[in-house]
Amino acid sequence: MKDETLLVTAGRDPRADYGAVNTPAYRTSTILFESFDEFEAALHDPVRRKFAYGRLGTPTSAALEDAVSQLEGGARSRLAPSGLAAITTALTAFLSAGDHLLMTQGAYPPARRFCEAALTRMGIETTYYDPLIGADIDSLFRPNTKLVYVESPSSGLFDVQDIPAIARVAHDRGAIVVMDNTWASPLYFKPFAHGVDVSIQAATKYIVGHSDAMLGVITCSEQTWRALRSTHREWGQTAGPDDIYLGLRGIRTLAVRLKQHHENGITLAHFLNKRSEVERVYHPALEGDPGHSLWKRDFLGASGLFAVQLKSWVTRRALAAMLDGLKLFGMGYSWGGYESLAAPFHLSHYRPGLTGDDPWLIRIHAGLEDRQDLTEDLAQGFQRLNANL
């Protein structure tokens, strides 16, 4: 079955819900057992019974888990209340005191902070590596290296990682590969076909797709599933039924939305690439981007998120004049909704330890609006920028 068909059919069983097309939001804590025998059996083997208590899963959570597992190409999934909760659950499922973790410098900054704070307290050591390291990651392994964390393209600067090369080395060394696959979504990158063992989605972004819920998903291979399932239970991770419902509602239209995000993103990237105020566009689907050939080899499309670096002479005041007057681009964290966003960052936000010049970047999320309306809004923004230098 092709992805477009899976998006419509996966995790849906109308016969189980009186013919209702959508799996309803099951709002429940208590799930009643039919007999003493059944109750006792569930107590002794909680995993065997599909639904035993709201925190452990409902038909609503199972529907989304099932759909995402199939799309990612993994075996089983679990939901978490946010993308970050999915990341922290996955890391702690496979790391113990005394273990060593290899973490990409391009990771989502709150994931890096989790390593620096919580994992350090737990006695787990992190080494950050250059996202472009490829097979040379071998030299960073220690006898106690258990996990390699990848995120491709990286947060902020959109470096594309050679995931198959990194995964080959990790597996030779007896480590697993955990990936943040939020940028591409399960439609545009197939993590398990590229050697990844555990894949994470901040479903808050494209799966929910409408900027109205927080949600995370962790998808596992057969080999990694048991450890993840246990840790997920031990931490008491659970997502709310209404948020999961919004994830299910969103995922049905993921393919058509992503196509427009892809096209709008590339149109805006080309437009920005030609502007004299722009030093560099960070978008792997652009020919000439350092990650372009790997992106073409491994990815099936591009999402709407990318960044531009402005010339060093662009002042804060000029940038504020540009951004404050934009009509179609909102300024905010997060992305993946239907709406366009433009958020200012310093380069050092994504390059910790950067010395010298620290130019402004604008992180752009290309929403679903008309392409020409979006480029006109940006063109008027550049007029304001130039008038306020």
User: Smallest distance from the beta carbon of 85 to ligand PLP, in angstroms?
Assistant: 7
Verify whether residue 274 is a known catalytic residue.
no
Verify whether residue 55 is a known catalytic residue.
yes
**How many residues belong to the site for ligand PLP (CB under 6 A)?**
13
Q: Using the rule CB under 6 A, is 204 a contact of ligand PLP?
A: yes
Q: Determine whether 14 is exposed, middle or buried from the number of CB atoms within 10 Å of its CB (0-12, 13-18, 19+).
A: exposed
> Rounded to an integer, what distance in angstroms lies between the CA atom of residue 357 and that of residue 112?
23
Q: Using the rule CB under 6 A, is 72 a contact of ligand PLP?
A: no
H or E element in which residue 222 lies: helix 222-234
When the beta carbons of 202 and 255 are compared against ligand PLP, the nearer one is 202
Binding to ligand PLP by CB under 6 A, coded x per residue (else -) over 208-247, reads: ------x-x-------------------------------
> What secondary structure letter does DSSP report for 183?
T
Q: How far, in Å, are 81, 156, 303, 304, 338 from residue 366 at the CA level?
A: 25, 15, 8, 5, 9
Q: Using the rule CB under 6 A, is 202 a contact of ligand PLP?
A: yes
- Tokens representing residue 347 in the block: 């380069």
Q: Segment near ligand PLP (CB under 6 A), from 77-85, 236-244, 254-262, 342-350?
A: 77-85
Q: How far, in Å, are 76, 119, 301 from residue 70 at the CA level?
A: 8, 31, 18
Q: Using the rule CB under 6 A, is 83 a contact of ligand PLP?
A: yes
Residue tagged active-site, from 76, 146, 190, 205: 205
H or E element in which residue 344 lies: strand 340-346
Q: Segment near ligand PLP (CB under 6 A), from 199-207, 223-231, 282-290, 310-318?
A: 199-207
Q: Determine whether 260 is exposed, middle or buried from the number of CB atoms within 10 Å of its CB (0-12, 13-18, 19+).
A: middle
Q: Segment near ligand PLP (CB under 6 A), from 79-87, 114-122, 230-238, 244-252?
A: 79-87
User: Smallest distance from the beta carbon of 83 to ligand PLP, in angstroms?
Assistant: 2
Q: Which residues on neighbouring strands pair with residue 151, listed in sequence order?
A: 180
Q: Write out the binding residues for ligand PLP, residues 101-140 only, by CB under 6 A.
A: 108
Q: Using the rule CB under 6 A, is 180 a contact of ligand PLP?
A: yes
* 355 Cβ contact partners less than 8 Å away, ≥ 6 residues apart: none
Phi, psi of 360 (to 5 degrees): -85, 140
Q: Which residues bind ligand PLP (CB under 6 A)?
A: 82-84, 108, 155, 180, 182, 202, 204-205, 214, 216, 334
Which residues does the annotation mark as catalytic?
55, 108, 180, 205
